[in-house]
Amino acid sequence: MKTWKPNLEETKKRYINWWNQKGIVLNMWEHFQEGVKPHASVAAPQPPIDLNQKWFDPQWRADYLDWYIAHSCLKADMLPVANTQLGPGSLAAILGGVFEGGEDTIWIHPNPNFTDEITFNPEHPNWILHKELLKACKAKANGHYYVGMPDLMEGLDVLAALKGTDSVLLDTVMQPEVLEQQMQQINNIYFKVFDELYDIIKENDEMAFCYFSAWAPGKMTKLQSDISTMISEDDFRRFVQPFIREQCQKIDYTLYHLDGVGAMHHLPALLEIKELNAIQWTPGVGEPQGGSPKWYDLYKKILAAGKSVMACWVTLDELRPLLDNIGGDGVHLEMDFHNESEVEQAMRIIEEYTSKNDQQETADGDLANESKLETEAIKIETCHKEESEELAPLYDAIVAGKMEDAIAVTKKAIQEGVAPQEIINNYMIKAMGEVGQRFQDGKAFVPQLLMAGRAMKGALELLKPMLQGSASTTIGKVVIGTVKGDLHDIGKNLVASMLEGCGFEVINIGIDVPADKFVEAVKEHQADILCMSALLTTTMTYMKEVIDALEASGLRHQVKIMVGGAPVNKNFAMQIGADGYSDNANSAVAVAKELLGKTK
């Protein structure tokens, strides 16, 4: 390889050490160009004509990457790698997912024709594109740099990209055997695809990976399962761990991307994988970056388990304290440099630790005794309410997510003449409250929320006609929806049914509704009341944006606004300028009537 990186051989040695839990690698994921003397005279390509060319034209990308690397800083252990990413998890696109080029990234949308059949079609255009892109880049690179392996991904994340996250989470409960089978099919295809791409990009037997930019003297990959923040440790051990283990066994060098505090409960299961070499830590939104003291214990734990660590977005100020605390063996630092002077400062610091290494004791930690990051696998147990012997099974069925049972008990209760309000308020809503509490306590996970939601919805359908009442005249028109970013619809639908039952004409515009859609619906239907629901503290603030949009459209004066949902309260409703608030579906009707009483 006649590379543009002058110290590539030293960097390779440092990588080999790092994979073996020794020494420090100092790298930067994205390159910078400021003040860099070009490594070759390469002209910049014409700007892309559109996003399609920017991402999906192999020749344009090869030309651009050639120019980009020729002008990038390659000091320290910064790797000369062409970033050939085709979106996060591009194996999903090879298996039928749909590409869309965005400004800064590529989106992969679910396969609209997905039928639970996972098949590899060697003629699929997205597969051909992968190969053409890598071949074009390899020809252009001409040995000056590596052509990186795209971020194919694997396992649950790929399946979620193919058929949707909720469907995969439900599968963990409803068709676990099918899910296991699909994981194995994805792994089998992954190895085939990986090997074929490896043959295109390898330099002798070496390769580099695009994501997090790492190099290895053999086959290497980055593994992940971001969706697993939403599943229990038992499910992780069943649906994720075996397939990651197989990848670690078949691929020489493996780095697991651990994403966010919500994923930490799976660390023990990851550390159990003997063949896994390294773990990369991404702290996630709202958390300090990888150089913060907050993560020292996590790094020590990983190192103590015999794995190397990759700490990301470390700043110069954090570097010394980080190495003082976790030691200088098996540490890969991804830093956020802006110019060469910063790189040189970091290199001087690293130098001190490299020479200190022999005396320095590596962090010590007894994996078995440390319980901070370990959580116990807790099974959902059903719980009995005391209010009515006959209806207690309804509460239990919803908590356990058993829709058929919930429907059967509800049918029986209806036949026996139990009032729908009693069924809803005393059993269904309380059961959802219990599931929510378990979720908050880390005893239930998203699949359990989904199952409970499904059970409640199923049973609620039977009660709907009874809620519809006999009103023959329309009191007023209501547009109702759950705000943008929020997918909870059970409470909103209940409010809608109650309003309908009491004589309102209700236009239910669904979940995840953006402000312009609310405004459009109010305008189109000439609504008297706009009802907004939100169940998340992070989405309730969006209600204000909808009100502002109504003001801006000049419609605010002609429509009353009512808000509700678990985190919403009267004060909040007043602050954002709503006209009414209700904390439950029954009083929502009274509030709605009162609001119209004021206008009519």
Residues lying near ligand B1M in the complex (CB under 6 A) are found at 230, 429, 432-433, 435-436, 439-440, 446, 449-450, 452-453, 485-492, 494-495, 531-533, 535-538, 562-567, 582, 584-585, 588
State the minimum distance, in angstroms, from the CB of residue 564 to ligand B1M: 2
Question: What does the chain come to in residues?
Answer: 600
**What is the rounded CA–CA span in Å between residue 428 and residue 410?**
10
Can you tell me the distance from the alpha carbon of 238 to that of 221, in angstroms, rounded to the nearest whole number? 22
What is the chain's alpha carbon radius of gyration, rounded to the nearest angstrom?
28
Amino acid identity, position 212: F
Nearest distance in Å: CB 388, ligand B1M: 19
Element (H, E) at 429: helix 429-440
The residue written with tokens 């930019």 in the block is: 213
User: Closer CB to ligand B1M, residue 28 or residue 231?
Assistant: 231
Q: Which residue's CB is nearer to ligand B1M, number 330 or number 491?
A: 491
Q: Which is nearer to ligand B1M, 307 or 556 (CB)?
A: 556
Give the shortest CB-80-to-ligand B1M separation in angstroms. 39
Question: For ligand B1M, which is the closer residue by CB, 147 or 446?
Answer: 446
On whether the CB atoms of residues 550 and 563 are closer than 8 A, the answer is: no
507: helix, strand or coil: strand
Rounded to 10 deg, the angle between the 165-174 and 446-467 helix axes is 90
DSSP 239-254: HTHHHHHHHHHHSSEE
Given the complex with ligand B1M, which of 345 and 538 has the nearer CB atom? 538
DSSP state of 85: -
Residues facing 278 on adjacent strands:
255, 308
- Residues 205/251, Cβ–Cβ less than 8 Å: no
Nearer to ligand B1M, 275 or 594 (CB): 594
- Give whichever of 178 and 487 is closer to ligand B1M, judged by the CB atom: 487
Shortest Cβ 66–ligand B1M spacing (Å) = 41
- Shortest distance, CB of residue 357 to ligand B1M, whole angstroms? 41
Minimum distance from residue 183 beta carbon to ligand B1M (Å):
21
What residues have CB less than 8 Å from 329, skipping those under 6 apart? 21, 22, 23, 24, 303, 357, 360, 362
Nearer to ligand B1M, 196 or 512 (CB): 512
Shortest reach from residue 543's CB to ligand B1M, in Å: 9
Name which of 302 and 429 has its Cβ closer to ligand B1M.
429
Closest CA to 401 of 156, 169, 163, 159: 169
Q: How far is the C-alpha of 508 from the C-alpha of 595, rounded, in Å?
A: 19
Please tell me whether residue 151 adopts helix, strand or coil conformation. Answer: coil
- Minimum Å distance from CB 438 to ligand B1M? 8
The tokens describing 333, both together, are: 């630092």
Q: How far apart are CA 581 and CA 248, in angstroms?
A: 54
Min dist CB 53 to ligand B1M, Å, is 34
Do the Cβ atoms of 291 and 271 come closer than 8 Å? Answer: no
CB of 512 to ligand B1M, least distance (A): 7
State the number of CA atoms in the 13 A half-sphere of 201 facing the CB.
Answer: 33
When the beta carbons of 278 and 449 are compared against ligand B1M, the nearer one is: 449
